[in-house]
Structure 1
Amino acid sequence: MTATRTAAAPTRGAASALTLDERLALAHHEMDDRLATRSAAWAVDTAHIPLDAPELLAPAPVSSYSTPVAAVLQEAHRLIADRGWCRRWLTDETGALCLLAAIRTAAGGEGPLADQAEAVLLEVIGGDSVARWNHGQTGPRAALAALDRAARHADRHGI
């Protein structure tokens, strides 16, 4: 019988606590990973939305919708088409509007009508917030298309 020798596994001392900078760096990397994952999920979720359909880029005539929410969404479309679209801010230095600012302006300020229009738009885009969805866009086409679809949806449902 031969004797075998096994080396003892090296042992480690107790791990030292992370410094504040190290914890912040880890949190930063975790947030980057979460944002990248969400961005990929958003791309998959919205891949079916047509962005180049010409009928989605031009606002419909002012009197095309009879329901109040549809009219607000249509006016928001017109405002963005006229003033420009922005993200990260409600309005930018040129006067361009994000989706929320356009809806609130079209509704005459914050209130039930603006809330209903935002809810219909959120239902159409299928995101978790209008602001977050707007921020994820790279240009006005998707925002204008979403407003147009939301106005048609509100009109069909009498909202």
Structure 2
Amino acid sequence: MTATRTAAAPTRAAAPALTLDDRLALAHHTMDDRLATRSAAWAVDTAHIPLEAPELLAPAPATSYSTPVAAVLQEAHRLIADRGWCRRWLTGPDGSYCLIGAIRTAADGEGPLADQAEVVLLEVIGGDSIARWNGNQTGPQPVLAALGRAACRADRRGI
């Protein structure tokens, strides 16, 4: 008979237990890696979104527009810039205006001129509702910028 020899599997010594400081340092490095990865992914995901040029945030030009819809939008811009901006009211208790209130006031009512101005503004803001977009703003700057862009667009179209 032949003797069979079995080789013992090599054993590995148990790793020493990590101290609290070691575990915290490991967690810190893991979080840094996760944040860096997510930051890079966010940069890639948002790279296609155009940033607004600083001149678009400036007030509308002082020149008068020759087209009626552009003039209404410019007047709405002036009303909000002079009297203030509000949400949830067409005209606020302090005399301020929301977008729709300023456009209707500038157009002397709710006629076709106000409707056309609201259509152009809706194209500029890219939303489904002017009132909802106005209500989501936190200050007058985006509102004034949108009115300025809408006035320029209406003037370019000749309406």
Q: Which has the larger radius of gyration?
A: 2
Q: 1:88 to 1:70 in 2, by over 3 A?
A: same
Paired with 2:80 and 2:94, the residues of 1 have a C-alpha distance of 12
Q: 1:149 to 1:55 in 2, by over 3 A?
A: closer
Matches within 5 A, 1:1-159: 48=50, 50=52, 53=54, 56-63=57-64, 65-159=65-159
Is the CA contact 2:59–2:145 (under 8 Å) kept in the aligned structure 1? no
Shift of 1:60: 1.9
Please give the TM-score of this superposition, normalised by the length of structure 2. 0.65
Runs of 4+ in 1 over 2 A off after TM superposition: 47-50, 52-59
Structure 2: gaps of 5 or more residues: 1-45
Shift of 1:48: 4.5
Question: What secondary structure does 2:147 align onto?
Answer: helix
Paired with 2:82 and 2:55, the residues of 1 have a C-alpha distance of 16
Question: What secondary structure does 2:61 align onto?
Answer: coil
Q: 1:116 to 1:84 in 2, by over 3 A?
A: same
Q: 1:48 to 1:126 in 2, by over 3 A?
A: same
Question: What secondary structure does 2:85 align onto?
Answer: coil
Paired with 1:100 and 1:124, the residues of 2 have a C-alpha distance of 14
Paired with 1:83 and 1:68, the residues of 2 have a C-alpha distance of 22
Paired position in structure 2 for 1:20: none
Paired with 1:81 and 1:111, the residues of 2 have a C-alpha distance of 23
- AA matched with 2:59: A
Provide the aligned length of Structure 1 versus Structure 2: 112
Shift of 1:62: 4.8
Paired with 2:121 and 2:94, the residues of 1 have a C-alpha distance of 25
Is the CA contact 1:62–1:75 (under 8 Å) kept in the aligned structure 2? no
Structure 1: gaps of 5 or more residues: 1-43
Shift of 1:145: 0.2
Deviations 1:91-136 (A, max 9, x none): 2111110000000000011110000000000011110011111001
Paired with 2:56 and 2:124, the residues of 1 have a C-alpha distance of 17
Paired with 1:132 and 1:49, the residues of 2 have a C-alpha distance of 22
Is the CA contact 1:69–1:117 (under 8 Å) kept in the aligned structure 2? yes
Paired with 1:148 and 1:96, the residues of 2 have a C-alpha distance of 18
- Backbone CA RMSD of aligned residues: 1.9
**Structure 1 vs Structure 2: percent identity of aligned residues?**
70
Is the CA contact 2:73–2:148 (under 8 Å) kept in the aligned structure 1? yes
